[in-house]
Amino acid sequence: MTNTKIKFENVEFTYIPPSGRPVRALERLSLDVAENEFVSIVGPSGCGKSTLLYLLGGFLPLEHGEITVDGRKVSKPGPDRGIVFQHFALFPWKTVRQNVLYGLERKKMDAAQRDELAQKYIDLVKLTGFEDSWPAQLSGGMKQRVAIARTLVTDPDVLLMDEPFGALDAQTRGILQEELLAIWGLTRKTVLFVTHDVHEAVLLSDRVIVMSARPGRIKSTVNIDLPRPRNSEVTRSQNFASYCDEIWGLVREEALVASGIKT
Ligand SMILES: Nc1ncnc2c1ncn2[C@@H]1O[C@H](COP(=O)(O)OP(=O)(O)OP(=O)(O)O)[C@@H](O)[C@H]1O
Ligand SMILES: [Mg+2]
């Protein structure tokens, strides 16, 4: 038996905007993620994927149900959960090194230790030599490497990634996917990864969760029973293509519901 790391139990969430109608984002959502598991979440736009991550991150107050990490209730952000967003979210006035060090600001360690740790993660994401560059001098892929290093440096148990490669070109995306898998192999975090890219979800994951149109619930769970490493032999296999087709079909149905074409 594997250990449950993250548990969502009957989670519901409604946005109440200052004006206009409330938006029911999640409804009766339950999900268990095992320790070290790599789980991707796919679903039509607006189905509540980001909301699910923000709730787990502790950035939104839980309205109903319960979310636990290692059996402890989530109520606010914490160092056990690190998040990487789609749009880099770097400080433009800080260099690469300073951005990565930011994650360590509140840790009790001396400056030399901090620098050493920051360097380790800058090296891990292959940005050696760019320590003193400013974000404006970096490509999109490099910026996202900085964001990943800044999150990993705090050594969170759980890594939450919200379309982290969504804004990158296909080639850079492919490289970062490979590198993320290598890092995951080394650090063995539990990863919850949101993506619109079904190929990416199958490539990376142990399990892919398909969410329904809003209000988001879990529509299906697909175990990706493919060997690792997921090299080209695996990605070119019939099994890989079948998983992609199956998940595409499930997402498509919900996208049609979301767009009002199907009920
Ligand atoms: N601050 C907010 N106020 C009101 N409604 C919101 C707010 N944030 C999100 N929503 C709505 O809640 C629903 C879920 O949003 P969420 O961002 O979680 O979806 P998503 O699945 O991440 O979408 P996407 O794939 O486009 O990123 C959407 O209908 C969205 O419009
Ligand atoms: Mg989103």
Give the global pTM: 0.94
Give the closest residue (by CA) to ligand 1 atom 6: 15
Sign of CA dihedral 247, 253, 254, 255: positive
Instruction: Judge contact between 13 and 165, C-beta under 8 A.
Output: no
Q: Best substitution site from 49, 53, 217 to test ligand 1's pocket, by max atoms within 8 Å of Cβ? A: 49
| Sheet strand arrangement including 158-162 | 81-84, 158-162, 190-194, 38-42, 207-211, 218-223
Cross-strand partners of 7: 32, 68
Instruction: Kindly identify the ligand whose nearest atom is closest to the C-alpha of 161.
Output: 2
CB of 212 within 6 A of ligand 1: the answer is no
Percentage with pLDDT > 70 across the chain: 99
For residue 158, CA distances in Å to 56, 118, 190 come to: 10, 19, 5
Task: Give the pLDDT confidence score for residue 1 in this predicted structure.
Answer: 53
SS3 41: strand
Residue 20 CA, closest ligand 1 atom number: 4
Separation of CA 45 and ligand 2 centre (Å): 7
Q: Tens of pLDDT along 67-77?
A: 999 999 999 99
Residue of 64, 30, 42, 248 lying closest to 161 (CA atoms)? 42
* HEC-encoded secondary structure of 92-142: CCCCHHHHHHHCCCCCCCCHHHHHHHHHHHHHHCCCCCCCCCCHHHCCHHH
Q: What pLDDT, in 10s, does the model give residues 4-33?
A: 999 999 999 999 999 989 999 999 999 999
**116 token code pair:** 């050493």
Please give the C-alpha separations between residue 47 and each of 50, 78, 118, 119, in angstroms, as whole numbers: 9, 25, 36, 38
Residue 235 has pLDDT above 60, yes or no: yes
